[in-house]
Structure 1
């Protein structure tokens, strides 16, 4: 039956083998006091193990292989990091393993000590032909405590990975949290389709320039649309003509270079999500929010956080337009509730968590997790698949965790590193 070395790690770590009359392959009595700590970095697989062989108690490392011959095949013979291995745990002891002094490395063989049932369940999980996730037939039966604990753990993993990107940008911005938040917020205003041009726009138009024109809406809008590359055409309407004239002066004053207009995507988008509308909303947010990230740090109430992005005042020109010089039926252009929640999820939560983690202020990381509990669950292909498997996804806390579960564990069949997979495989 097929299995991987990870399976043997799992069997050893949780002692899922027949423990009656344990002996080394040379017949010496073996007692395992501690299997050691699983090492996922370079070096022996389990560190600080503690065992007794015969009359002698040993403390050191344990190394796991499918076959004894894998020791030499993996290059451990000449590696000093493996000199203190006190036990070689193998499925099949195919060749004797000798140290450099000629003495045999104590070896423990698992071949006849793993139950056929465990083998079968593992094989079905990792090598089966499931269409969605490896444990799709079992995951709905996992108890709520196990599931919730694992979802919490991998959600934190997800936020920790994403926060590394924030800290890299923070360092590039010389520790300026407001500027870094502004850049990420801009990218998320473009959502997935126009995230890149929005990010480039923010980087080409720093906040210190915008701050000088906070009291002049036309100038803020001119800077935003001009830097976005939308003011290079000949216009008929008075509003874009005024923007173009204003931008020409500001561009020369600050020596600005607009981004390429062709980067913006309009195809297959609802007009409400056109980049022109998002830019108008972004300009409105700039006008009515000063030191926005500082306000977010001071705002603990979810309703108040949403209020920071609600009722953004957009120039009345956009009430009857989706693009310059193209009139349309009147409609409100404020940010919808779903868009606000997306911004809270992808920017505010991420920055609260990153800020707390970077400065070791647990209050903010806890606030980030609490905020996720108060944001509706995302609806996408991944969350729909889990719902179809019989799972309840009640908030963004859970939807984000399930996305991480699918992308980082299920897709790579890391069942033996997954709390859910371990629970399913453990004997009842």
Structure 2
């Protein structure tokens, strides 16, 4: 038994609320259970109850045992002086206020349906991956779908926080924020941090000025990523290196390598050389990129923006000095889907939020048109019978796993609450 279960019972009155009596046998009538604060101080604020013939307004504190009051030293905290009812699972000692008046106690275990307790214990049985893995498929579809939408927007809110942090750092330059976030996503898991740091070392005002020559963008990206630090015979390599140091001098920038990029364990199409060339071509093709994507509300138009390949040199190279068969190396559909899910949609959400606009239905529509993501978490949910049809489904499941399942927040989760409900 945990206190959060008792909080759940009290908050939703999951007990025989019509026949309550204090441990001293006085009748209790609940008018209002109070506001669940989840902060320091009593658990429920501004409750209203009647004990005997006396109506009370104040706070309710909840513990597993009455003696926990003293274990937690509430007798020394003035915030607990206004507690009007002590709700416990087991009453083992009397509790007194500083003025020596006894605090009424409700021993809750007498009033809870055994089926509710059994459902709770079944939900929190030892888990192999998540607590409800054997029951999650039983949740009503209507409840599941409503909760998915809530999870999705919680995830968007979480993703928007670093966006607003970056805006503070860039004097509200949305184009600069988009560049940094796209760079991180072009680097994927292995090179994401290195690409992000590379983007942070180049003032976006320089990108704006140099985007008309793709070779200059490649020179900046490759140079700041540490890919122009050796000596090679390749003519294109020498040209990029010359351009890079010229641009450093022109803009009085320092040659800083924040983090070395990695080729190891990457398929050739994901080599940092290819991804940086694609990023350079994206900004060469689309000046004022943010102003274009911020208003796009159709999947087709969003995808068209990213129909980007590499510079001519990289069509028959993956690394400098090593030729390969010619290949256009366009951004794949799966890669564009990742960019939309991880960068474009969160940015559109954050921008709309900053403008006081409501675009939630548009964003759900976009995600419903994207294929479901493929990863170990989604595969595991599939094995429990939770099959994702699109990226909206997978994004909500990722939020569920990270923020609720991993943190054992079952009684804050609509699925957990549904499964704990008495079935008798």
TM-score (norm 1): 0.95
Could you tell me how far apart the structure 1 residues matched to 2:301 and 2:231 are? 42
Aligned pairs, number: 423
Displacement of 1:138 in angstroms is 0.9
Cα deviation code 1:219-273 (max 9, x no counterpart): 2222222222211222222211211122221122222334438621111110000
2:416 is matched with which residue? Answer: 421
The alpha-carbon distance between structure 1 residues 79 and 262, as it changes in their structure 2 partners (threshold 3 A), is closer
Contact 1:146 1:420 in 2 (8 A): yes
Measure, in 2, the Cα distance between the counterparts of 1:135 and 1:226: 50
Q: Distance in 1 between the 2:84 and 2:160 partners?
A: 40
Provide the residue aligned with 1:123 in structure 2.
121
Which of 313, 318, 322 aligns to 1:317? It is 313
> Is the counterpart of residue 239 in structure 1 residue 236 in structure 2?
yes
Q: Aligned partners of 1:339 and 1:39: how far apart in 2?
A: 43
SS of the aligned residue for 1:124 comes to helix
- Give the match for residue 89 of structure 1: 87
> In the alignment, what sits opposite 2:53?
55
Work out which of the residue numbers 356, 359, 363 in structure 2 matches 1:360: 356
Within a 5 Å distance, the mapping from 1:7-406 to structure 2 comes to 7-126=5-124, 128-260=125-257, 263-310=260-307, 312-363=308-359, 365-406=360-401
Q: Is the 8 A contact 1:200 1:259 kept in 2?
A: no
Instruction: Write out per-residue CA displacement over residues 103-141 of structure 1, whole angstroms, 9 at most, x where no aligned residue.
Output: 111111113222333222222222x23322111111111
How far, CA to CA, are the matches of 1:60 and 1:372 in structure 2? 46
Whether the 8 Å contact between 1:197 and 1:259 is mirrored in structure 2 is no
SS in 2 for 1:186: helix
Shift, 1:356, TM fit: 2.4
Q: Distance in 2 between matches of 1:130 and 1:347?
A: 34
Cα separation, 1, equivalents of 2:355 and 2:79: 35
Equivalent pair of 1:228/1:258 in contact (CA under 8 Å) = no
Instruction: Name whichever of 57-66 and 339-348 sits farther off.
Output: 57-66
Q: CA deviation at 1:191?
A: 1.2
Task: Indicate the SS of the match to 1:149.
Answer: helix
Per-residue CA deviations over 1:302-356 (Å, capped at 9, x if unaligned) read 111111111x242111111100111112222110011111001110011112222
Distance in 1 separating the partners of 2:358 and 2:197: 32
Match of 1:185, SS state, is: helix
CA deviation map 1:144-170 (0-9, x unaligned): 110011111122112212211111111
Q: Which runs of 5+ in 2 are unaligned?
A: none
Deviations 1:59-118 (A, max 9, x none): 222111111111122122222222222211111111111111111111111132223332
Deviations 1:171-226 (A, max 9, x none): 11121111111111111111111111111111111221122223222222222222
Greater shift, 132-141 or 349-358, is seen at: 349-358
- Residue 268 of structure 1 aligns to a residue whose secondary structure is coil
Q: Residues 308, 68 of structure 1: CA spacing in aligned structure 2 closer, same or farther, 3 A cutoff?
A: same
1:375 offset after TM fit, Å? Answer: 1.8
* Structure 1 portions without partners, runs of 5+: none
The separation in 2 between residues aligned to 1:405 and 1:261, in whole angstroms, is 34
Give distance in 1, aligned partners of 2:140 and 2:237: 59
Q: Hey, what's the Cα distance between the residues in 2 that align with 1:262 and 1:13?
A: 50
Checking the alignment, whether the CA contact within 8 Å between 1:375 and 1:396 is kept in structure 2 is yes
How large is the Cα RMSD of the aligned pairs? 1.6
Is residue 352–residue 367 contact of structure 1 (8 Å, CA) maintained in 2? Answer: no
